[in-house]
Structure 1
Amino acid sequence: MNTSLVDKYNISGPRYTSYPTVPYWNNETFSLNKWKESLVQSFKESNSKEGISLYIHLPFCESLCTFCGCNKRITKQHSVESPYINAVLKEWDLYLELFDEKPIIKELHLGGGTPTFFSPEHLKILINGILNRSVLADNYEFSFEGHPNNTTREHLQALFDVGFRRVSYGVQDYNETVQKAIHRIQPFENVKRATEMAREVGYTSVGHDIIFGLPFQTIDHVKSTILKTKALLPDRLAFYSYAHVPWIKGNGQRGFNDNDLPAPELKRKQYELGKQLLAEVGYHEIGMDHFALKTDSLFKSMGNGDLHRNFMGYTASKTQAMIGLGVSSISDSWYGFAQNVKGLESYYNLLEDNIIPVYRGHILNEEDLVIRQHILNLMCRFKTSWTNDTLRFPELPDALIRLKEMEQDGLLKIETDSIAVTDKGQPFVRNICMAFDLLLQRKQPDTQLFSMTV
């Protein structure tokens, strides 16, 4: 990796799980009624063709991991499980009232927090409650995030029994010093046990999440973690850059000092080394930060041109409508975004009053939809074009001017009616997307809103 390019392009920028990005949502023109209308429109257009996706946020954790940027509630009181599940199912009922036919579930993902905080019995109650008033798509995919320390065979079997075939485990790093800094102590043996159990139960896709750029993390730490990962050969990997955003997450990301973090050049070397080691054993890079074996659905979707990106990250297939259930969950109708309240008490109170617990969002205009498609193309396929007039927009010449210097640096190629990101430019795809981000270009933030791009 060219050090000068890292220095040049390592700036604050979005990860583009959406466009517009959350800080640029127009909450003044948003309303719950407008959100419902956009979702009903999307549902009518797409349910029978492709189904819908569900994301369910389970926020509870028994201890705080200081690297984590998720919305969570720390508690050891498992009495919170049943009331929360009842609330999520109530929220689902409120959404079902909007539709004139049963939703066809194509994708369902349990995230957190720590989904395996919940007992196997309660997880089955939750999923059965969702499915009892739905239809399963022929090629549905259910997945969940498991904590290697507390995912039991009973968890795996219970979720397998209701249709789950994919699980991802948060590994982060195997070095004890790093684990202590991020308050996530989990030996390799725990990850090995959880991975092997999933395969024994019958899961067809096991994923590991690994993070580089963590406090006290060295090149040797990353190498050791990747080598141990190769020994288990998970079907897919998320190899993320640590997003240091303490100004958003407060004390949750202050378990260490800023000077304990690797410098940008070292951080990029960690990524390049990890990428090299993963390639040697047969992993292929998928979009940004993801890797998969040829047998995994994520790799196949990339080859078929079906790779999609939303608030759940990269997915193997697209649905136009994605409903987020639970505190802080974000929903996407393609025409609009909506986020639930983040506090448990507010969430419960709104549901008691039969109100879908949304507190902010954005309804996309025509310009938003065009720019969203370009950014989605770049993030999923490393190219975009405007041969179709519907993808042209007045500021396109300005965007191409912003990209000219990146072309001179070898990060992309600009053609008459398209651009393509080069291999050299793929690590900088967030920077390339920023050239198309009209809202960001029109109003640069006064303070740092996003993590660094490198």
Structure 2
Amino acid sequence: MQAENSLSDKYNIPVPRYTSYPTVPSWKEGIDITSWKEGFSRQFIAGNASDGISLYVHLPFCESLCIYCGCTKRITTNHSVEETYIQAVLAEWEIYRSLMAGPPVIRELHLGGGTPTFFSPGNLSRLIEGILKGAVLHAQHSFSLEGHPNNTCREHLDVLYALGFRRISYGVQDTNEEVQRLIHRIQPFENVQRATGDAREAGFTSVNFDLIYGLPGQSPDRLHRTIAQSLTLRPDRVAFYSYAHVPQVSCNQRLIDEKLLPSAPEKLSLYNKGRAIFMGHGYTDIGMDHFSLPTDELYHAWKAGDLHRNFMGYTVQKSSLLLGLGLSAISDTGDAYGQNSKSLTDYYRAISAGVPAIRKGYFLQEEDKVFRRHILDIACMGQTTLLPAWSSLLEEWTIPQLRALERDGLVSLHENEVKLTETGRPFLRHVCKAFDLHLLRSERARGNATGVCRPAFAASI
């Protein structure tokens, strides 16, 4: 097995996060809306009664710009935008309700952003009540949201708890004042303490912290203090994300001084230091940068082999239909992906015309579904079984990749069984890549050009 730094250098290439397969770069602009609607209705009929549906609602507004952020957002302090946006999202929901053969059984609902708590408690209540009107709640339903520690108030939490929300994720990122200044996110740790305490007092049963390694100005000592401070609040989950510096995609990242970013070996060292601290404090490495306490349902799902992964990340819910509402939101019918417009003007125009705001997507072939299953199995369970019926494709594309990963100690390959090793956990995305035929074919077409072009562990969409 190669030394850690050698592996860091070798695998210092951009790899997707695999919240979908095929990944977004393979999707096409201007998909057939009629086919999309037909597929949505077909999947609703097939899975609504038994599995229920998952809903993701994108609330894109923020009062200030965090320059590391790669999400779709709109910066404003004008809260009058809330009304127009809520009306549009509820109108979009009605467009999809017209494609449903009966009341939707809602199994999962997540508010993402942007900053969902940019919206007033009253407006969030009106939005959720509008979505739930006439719907049925699945017996195992789960509601969650992302909150900003600076503006999440007790009224937000009380209102959302009364509507069924039990899990909240706070973007902590880094607690060092200098790092916060460099990324334009000034957030006193006292605000994190207050928001966490308020959530638990309101009745929320799971609190997640998002922390980021690889930010400008981070050092081992600063990161250690950030993690140590954060763990004093004992979050039930931690998402320990790699900062992906992609200024060619996210314009605001051009404001970051690249000289202040850690090198690839330094970044891997930050990850390993953080992972060791989490593990030493009783957290389990679930995979793909996620850590969980044994008391959290995410851990139980991981132990039982019931973990699932979609555009919301890891989830304990396995509904067969994911509907994304709002600007840039992504939907998954099982047979197709669709992403809404990233332009507010175009989004509002489509909804006003009574049509889905889908502007980009992909219709899956049988090959895509098979290799998506392998990627999901590796990401969620750390293992997968190769199917003999697909042996020719596996032998051409995947087996050579797996053999190379096995030589580096990242996987074990025995007959048709592939298993992730402990050494391979930090390189989970690279193992998933062995099943990414779209990316592998693209690399071969480019002459297998996989040189270093981003920091280690950087991820495309």
1:43-71 CA-partner distances (Å, limit 9, x unpaired): 11211111010000000000000110000
Instruction: Report if aligned partners of 1:205, 1:296 keep a CA contact under 8 Å in 2.
Output: yes
Task: Identify the residue that residue 363 of structure 1 maps to in structure 2.
Answer: 363
Q: Does 1:308 align with 2:326?
A: no
Task: Identify the residue that residue 18 of structure 1 maps to in structure 2.
Answer: 20
Kindly, what percent of the aligned residue pairs are identical?
A: 50
Quick check: 104-113 or 17-26, which moved more?
17-26
TM-score (norm 2): 0.95
Task: State how 1:12-411 maps to structure 2 within 5 Å.
Answer: 12-27=14-29, 30-250=31-251, 252-386=252-386, 389=388, 392-398=390-396, 399-411=398-410
Q: Secondary structure at the match of 2:249?
A: helix
Instruction: Report if aligned partners of 1:208, 1:237 keep a CA contact under 8 Å in 2.
Output: yes
Q: Measure, in 1, the Cα distance between the counterparts of 2:211 and 2:65.
A: 18
Q: Measure, in 2, the Cα distance between the counterparts of 1:106 and 1:40.
A: 17
Q: Report the CA distance between 1:319 and its aligned residue.
A: 1.1
Q: Measure, in 2, the Cα distance between the counterparts of 1:267 and 1:39.
A: 42
1:49-108 CA-partner distances (Å, limit 9, x unpaired): 110100000000000001100000000000000110010000000001001111111100
Q: Measure, in 1, the Cα distance between the counterparts of 2:80 and 2:29.
A: 35
Q: Secondary structure at the match of 1:196?
A: helix
Instruction: Report if aligned partners of 2:267, 2:456 keep a CA contact under 8 Å in 1.
Output: no
Q: Report the CA distance between 1:369 and its aligned residue.
A: 0.4
Q: Measure, in 1, the Cα distance between the counterparts of 2:388 and 2:412.
A: 21
Distance of aligned partners of 1:74 and 1:207 in 2 relative to their CA distance in 1, 3 Å threshold: same
Residue type matched to 1:453 in 2?
A: F
Instruction: Report if aligned partners of 2:8, 2:456 keep a CA contact under 8 Å in 1.
Output: no
Q: Secondary structure at the match of 1:247?
A: coil
Q: What are the ranges of 5 or more consecutive residues in structure 1 without an aligned counterpart?
A: none
Q: Secondary structure at the match of 2:69?
A: coil
Q: What are the ranges of 5 or more consecutive residues in structure 2 without an aligned counterpart?
A: none
Q: Measure, in 1, the Cα distance between the counterparts of 2:391 and 2:100.
A: 34
1:278-337 CA-partner distances (Å, limit 9, x unpaired): 112111111210011111111011011111111111111211100000000000011100
Instruction: Report if aligned partners of 2:236, 2:293 keep a CA contact under 8 Å in 1.
Output: yes
Q: Secondary structure at the match of 1:395?
A: helix
Q: Report the CA distance between 1:389 and its aligned residue.
A: 4.9
Q: Report the CA distance between 1:166 and its aligned residue.
A: 0.5
Q: Report the CA distance between 1:453 and its aligned residue.
A: 2.7
Q: Report the CA distance between 1:38 and its aligned residue.
A: 1.8
Instruction: Report if aligned partners of 1:370, 1:393 keep a CA contact under 8 Å in 2.
Output: no
Q: Secondary structure at the match of 2:55?
A: strand
Task: Identify the residue that residue 453 of structure 1 maps to in structure 2.
Answer: 457
Q: Measure, in 1, the Cα distance between the counterparts of 2:202 and 2:438.
A: 47
Instruction: Report if aligned partners of 1:13, 1:451 keep a CA contact under 8 Å in 2.
Output: no
| RMSD, aligned CA | 1.6
Residue type matched to 1:65 in 2?
A: C
Q: Measure, in 1, the Cα distance between the counterparts of 2:22 and 2:455.
A: 16
Residue type matched to 1:395 in 2?
A: L
1:17-39 CA-partner distances (Å, limit 9, x unpaired): 100001012447x3111211222
Distance of aligned partners of 1:451 and 1:124 in 2 relative to their CA distance in 1, 3 Å threshold: farther
Q: Measure, in 1, the Cα distance between the counterparts of 2:456 and 2:135.
A: 41
Runs of 4+ in 1 over 3 A off after TM superposition: 445-452
Instruction: Report if aligned partners of 1:13, 1:452 keep a CA contact under 8 Å in 2.
Output: no
Q: Measure, in 2, the Cα distance between the counterparts of 1:453 and 1:195.
A: 29
Q: Secondary structure at the match of 1:144?
A: strand
Q: Measure, in 2, the Cα distance between the counterparts of 1:450 and 1:345.
A: 33
Instruction: Report if aligned partners of 1:102, 1:133 keep a CA contact under 8 Å in 2.
Output: yes
Q: Measure, in 2, the Cα distance between the counterparts of 1:257 and 1:361.
A: 34
Residue type matched to 1:3 in 2?
A: N
Q: Report the count of equivalent residues.
A: 450
Instruction: Report if aligned partners of 1:105, 1:137 keep a CA contact under 8 Å in 2.
Output: yes
Quick check: 176-185 or 393-402, which moved more?
393-402
Q: Report the CA distance between 1:12 and its aligned residue.
A: 1.2
TM-score (norm 1): 0.96
Q: Report the CA distance between 1:450 and its aligned residue.
A: 8.0
Residue type matched to 2:57 in 1?
A: I
Q: Secondary structure at the match of 2:80?
A: helix
Q: Secondary structure at the match of 1:356?
A: coil
Instruction: Report if aligned partners of 2:44, 2:101 keep a CA contact under 8 Å in 1.
Output: no
Q: Measure, in 1, the Cα distance between the counterparts of 2:255 and 2:290.
A: 27
